Amino acid sequence: MSLPASISLFRNRVISAVLLGSCLLAVAGESFAYDFTIHSRTEAYGYQLRRYDRNGLTFINRRRVSQYMGLRVFNLLDSGEDPASYRNAARPALLQLNALMRFFVDFGAYGNAADNNSELRDNQFELLLGALEGRNILGWIDFSLGRQYDAELMGFFAYDGLRLRINSPWHFFVESHFGIQVDRHRPFSPALFQADGPAEKTEGKSVAPSFGVAVGIADLYRLDLRVAYRGTASHAPLLDRQAMSDEVDFPQKVWGIDEEFLVVSGNYRVPWLNTQLSFAARLDLLLESMDGFQLNVDQRLGERHFVGFDFIQSRPHFDGDSIFNIFSIQPFTELSLRYQLRILAGLHAYSRFGYRRMWSYSEIGESLQLIEEDEDGKAFTFLLGTTLQWQRLHATLELYWFSGYGGLKIGGDFHAELRPLRWLSLEGRVSVIGFQDDQRSDAFVTTLGLQLGGKVRFAKGVLLHLLAENNVSQLYQGDLRFLAVLDVEVSP
């Protein structure tokens, strides 16, 4: 075959391939992709536990390693459009998967073989977070399916289940959730969630469904309002029929309500006054008592001054079958004033003054009534601090004073972090704390704490954090600790 004929044949084949590719692109549908990040973190630390027994003061060595592994998959509903196009249009539909796992390994000693300390032997796999979340699905549905976390006032709870929210175009929404309360005794549950109550429940032999509904308005003339109901139920302990009369037929399992709350919260922004008002109240329907109220007022004065006022009244709450509802730790009422001053760009000063009043419960008949204690139930706190963020230097200095209920505490803390290089960061902390027990006015103890460490970034997403700390006081000659964290993050 001659050279011109070969060139002509090659040209025809190229033209045919281009035409075939154009036809395939014309009939092919849109292709979608998703993004993901993988995060790994390893923490190793060692310390000693002080223990007093018949032999006097002894120490138990603790050497623990914690491994974290996180996964985030997002842009599952990516339409391929420019995110800037959403600025003046409706919010896009989002779907993502979040998961975070943790595993403890302990190489320390447990003391005597007869000791049965479940907290020290808490080596288990934990699923901290694992949920599929959707936002603005079909333009009006938000949901989260999996391990859920929620907070109300000073309460924090978790459950495995479904949370659903329906948003209307008139700023009105309806929420509902249902799931199983997270209990540390169940597989893959965080050790943080220890349910109180009878042994039948705390040993994880009975599931505890959690359920709730809520209604409210969102950003209606700068007003947010939410009314929510939440309850938790479980099986009562199995009854011992042999210890009871045979004439009465007692059921083996009875469902009972452990928690039942009504929470009202909201906030309002006054633009012409630069004022932010927020409040929240929690009513314990099971005990028929108001066990939490919070009011916050934030006021901006010009460009440099900021003041705030906080009022908190809280009664610690427990499960309905817990004995701690009678022998409860003390409720309190607290007032605080906050002030912040912007001195220069990156330099701020702030202060806080607080007053706390402790209360106690007395049993009168079958009801619990709130009574005021003596003058020892009062406490005063004062905090004065400043922060500096200037180029590669970040520093914070705080001085605080606490007096009244619990004794006298006074001290200061200085922390600084210097970044001489982009991949290197050096940090240090000096703290001095002096305290005097209210039961022993003749003993005043001063503690000096020193902390040195650094962060080295070997590559993008790979960070090593090292930290050493030592505390010295009249009570002990030294308290040395080491911490090492390897942080790895992978993303496409």
Highest mean pLDDT among 43-57, 106-120, 335-349, 374-388: 335-349
Instruction: Please check the confidence at residue 65 and state whether its pLDDT lies above 80.
Output: yes
Higher-pLDDT residue of 34, 66 = 66
| CB-neighbour burial class of residue 214 (10 A; exposed 0-12, middle 13-18, buried 19+) | middle
Instruction: Please check the confidence at residue 1 and state whether its pLDDT lies above 50.
Output: no
Side chain identity at residue 238, one-letter code: L
pLDDT, residue 66, reads: 85
Q: What is the pLDDT of residues 272-296, one digit of tens each?
A: 888 999 999 999 888 788 888 999 9
pLDDT band at 46 (very low <50, low <70, confident <90, very high): confident
**Distance separating the N- and C-terminal Cα atoms of the chain:** 50
Least confident of 249-263, 376-390, 448-462: 249-263
pLDDT, residue 3, reads: 40
Instruction: Please check the confidence at residue 424 and state whether its pLDDT lies above 70.
Output: yes
| Greatest distance between any 2 Cα atoms in the chain | 114
pLDDT, residue 327, reads: 59
Higher-pLDDT residue of 320, 212 = 212
Instruction: Please check the confidence at residue 404 and state whether its pLDDT lies above 90.
Output: no
pLDDT, residue 401, reads: 95
Q: What is the pTM of this model?
A: 0.75
pLDDT, residue 426, reads: 96
Instruction: Please check the confidence at residue 483 and state whether its pLDDT lies above 50.
Output: yes
Could you give the CA distance from residue 144 to residue 160 in angstroms, rounded to a whole number?
A: 10
Q: Which whole number is the average pLDDT over 380-395?
A: 94
Q: What is the pLDDT of residues 152-210, one digit of tens each?
A: 776 778 899 999 999 998 999 999 999 988 877 777 777 777 666 554 455 545 688 89
Q: What is the pLDDT of residues 304-316, one digit of tens each?
A: 999 999 999 888 7
Least confident of 19-28, 32-41, 340-349: 19-28
pLDDT, residue 263, reads: 93
Least confident of 206-220, 234-248, 368-382: 234-248
pLDDT band at 59 (very low <50, low <70, confident <90, very high): confident
Instruction: Please check the confidence at residue 216 and state whether its pLDDT lies above 70.
Output: yes
Could you give the CA distance from residue 432 to residue 410 in angstroms, rounded to a whole number?
A: 8
Instruction: Please check the confidence at residue 324 and state whether its pLDDT lies above 70.
Output: no
Instruction: Please check the confidence at residue 77 and state whether its pLDDT lies above 60.
Output: yes
- Domain residue extents for the chain: 407-492
Q: Is residue 192 within a helix (H) or strand (E), and if so which, with residue range?
A: none
SS (H, E, C) 350-399: EEEEEEEEEEEEEEECCEEEEEECCHHHEEEEEEEEEEEEECCEEEEEEE
Q: What is the pLDDT of residues 96-147, one digit of tens each?
A: 999 999 887 777 665 554 454 554 556 678 888 899 999 999 889 999 999 9
Residues 227 and 347: beta-carbon distance below 8 Å = no
pLDDT, residue 363, reads: 39
Q: Which of 360, 151, 163, 347 is nearest to 265 (CA)?
A: 151
Query: How many CB atoms are closer than 10 A to CB 259?
Result: 22
Higher-pLDDT residue of 114, 51 = 51
Vertex 166: Cα angle to 165 and 168 (nearest 5): 140
pLDDT, residue 476, reads: 73
Per-residue CA distances from 401 to 291, 328, 418 (Å): 28, 27, 28
Could you give the CA distance from residue 443 to residue 402 in angstroms, rounded to a whole number?
A: 16
- In the chain, the percentage of residues whose pLDDT exceeds 90 is 36
